[in-house]
């Protein structure tokens, strides 16, 4: 008996469909119609409802990779996104297919980023294969697929925990909304040299409990080593604003002007009553001014 897990027919059909989105036009002698569409993305996880975990994808596409259209006297850019989570143990597939478009009076700079957010609820699992496919809605056969193994954590239990750390552009008036906050979520590889927002959630800290938070921003070299001497630390303290389920969120504005390079951002929360500590880190890459960014909502694709 072959001990390797076999892909069930539904999953096999889905994966074939996902790949075909990228490879349309590359079969049967029409390979010249195929072209890549590079994009950037990150995944974040947060406690969901009824024991699930919310998996949030921040996706950004450079304008230069898209074909612009003239529509009703305006310039329009369009792309489609397929976000798939495949559990190889449960043999389950969760997916969503969305369209993104923006219309402007004139063409956007080629270095401008169009970014959006997609969210999927999923059971916790350490046997997930995640795939994101982005295709140019105006050019069949132009697209790209990125896929990796991915662990979806379980935020249940009673210990002090932190969600993933999410980052966004400041002064957001629209974007990803969570627990009363709005975040212009952006992939961590595409940050400007300006102020940015940091969002995270604290789990299982009782209401009104005194606590402290430290946010450390450490430059890291090519080997992943931190430069301790240049680490910037920001400290906060207060009383827990947790709801009855022991959850509350924090949205912090960091005003530091960071030089280009990679940084590890670490959030540490300490329960001042009993000394419990929870910590979470994420690496960001500051690239400087790149022509700006526009957050565009992702809408369910008709017929998707």
Mean pLDDT by 10 residues, the chain (304 residues): 36 40 33 74 96 96 95 94 96 96 94 95 96 95 95 95 94 88 91 84 96 95 86 94 91 83 95 97 83 89 62
Sequence-ordered strand ranges (E) for 105-209: 113-122, 125-136, 143-152, 161-162, 166-169, 176-178, 181-185, 196-203
Closest CA to 142 of 69, 298, 33: 33
Which pLDDT value is given to residue 191? 80
Pairing of strands 196-203, 161-162: antiparallel
Which pLDDT value is given to residue 287? 80
**Per-domain boundaries in the chain:** 9-300
State whether residue 62 is helix, strand or coil.
strand
State whether residue 158 is helix, strand or coil.
coil
Distance CA(126)–CA(194), nearest Å, equals 36
Question: Within 10 A of 189 (CB to CB), how many other CB atoms are there?
Answer: 15
Query: How long is the chain?
Result: 304
Distance CA(16)–CA(24), nearest Å, equals 12
Which pLDDT value is given to residue 289? 60
Based on the number of CB atoms within 10 Å of its own CB, is 178 exposed (0-12), middle (13-18) or buried (19 or more)? buried
- The answer to whether 148 touches 132, Cβ cutoff 8 Å, is no
Closest CA to 161 of 51, 277, 40, 55: 277
| pTM, 2 dp | 0.86
Distance CA(36)–CA(207), nearest Å, equals 50
The torsion defined by the Cα of 55, 112, 35 and 140, in degrees rounded to 10, comes to 80
Distance CA(65)–CA(253), nearest Å, equals 31
- The answer to whether 184 touches 141, Cβ cutoff 8 Å, is no
Residues near 225 by Cβ (< 8 Å), separated by ≥ 6?
none
Task: Tell the CATH topology of 9-300.
Answer: Immunoglobulin-like (2.60.40)
The torsion defined by the Cα of 255, 261, 264 and 265, in degrees rounded to 10, comes to 20
Query: How far is residue 72 from each of residues 63, 75, 161, measured CA to CA in Å?
Result: 20, 8, 51
């Amino acid at each position: 008996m072959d001990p390797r897990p076999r892909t069930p027919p539904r999953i096999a059909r889905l994966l074939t469909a996902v790949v075909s989105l990228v490879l349309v036009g590359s079969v049967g002698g029409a390979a010249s119609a195929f072209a890549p569409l590079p994009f950037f993305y990150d995944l974040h996880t947060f406690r969901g409802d009824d024991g699930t975990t919310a998996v949030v994808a921040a996706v950004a596409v450079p304008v230069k990779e898209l074909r612009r259209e003239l529509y009703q006297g305006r310039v329009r850019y369009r792309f489609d996104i397929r976000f798939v989570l495949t559990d190889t143990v449960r043999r389950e597939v969760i997916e969503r297919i969305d369209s993104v478009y923006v219309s402007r009076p004139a063409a956007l700079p080629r270095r401008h980023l169009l970014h959006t957010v997609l969210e999927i609820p999923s059971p916790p699992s350490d046997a997930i294969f995640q795939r994101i496919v982005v295709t140019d809605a105006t050019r069949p056969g132009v697209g790209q697929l990125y896929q990796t193994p991915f662990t979806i954590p379980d935020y249940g239990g009673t210990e002090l925990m932190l969600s993933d750390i999410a980052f966004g552009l400041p002064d957001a008036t629209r974007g990803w909304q969570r627990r009363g906050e709005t975040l212009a979520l952006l992939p961590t590889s595409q940050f400007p040299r300006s102020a940015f927002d940091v969002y995270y959630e604290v789990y299982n800290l009782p209401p009104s409990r005194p606590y402290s938070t430290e946010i450390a921003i450490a430059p890291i070299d090519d080997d992943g080593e931190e430069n301790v001497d240049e680490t910037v630390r920001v400290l906060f303290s207060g009383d827990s604003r947790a709801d009855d389920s022991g959850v509350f969120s924090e949205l912090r504005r960091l005003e530091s002007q960071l030089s280009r390079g990679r940084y590890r951002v670490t959030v540490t929360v300490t329960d001042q009553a009993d000394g419990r500590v929870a910590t979470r880190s994420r690496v960001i890459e500051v690239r400087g001014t790149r022509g700006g960014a526009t957050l565009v909502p992702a809408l369910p694709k008709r017929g998707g």
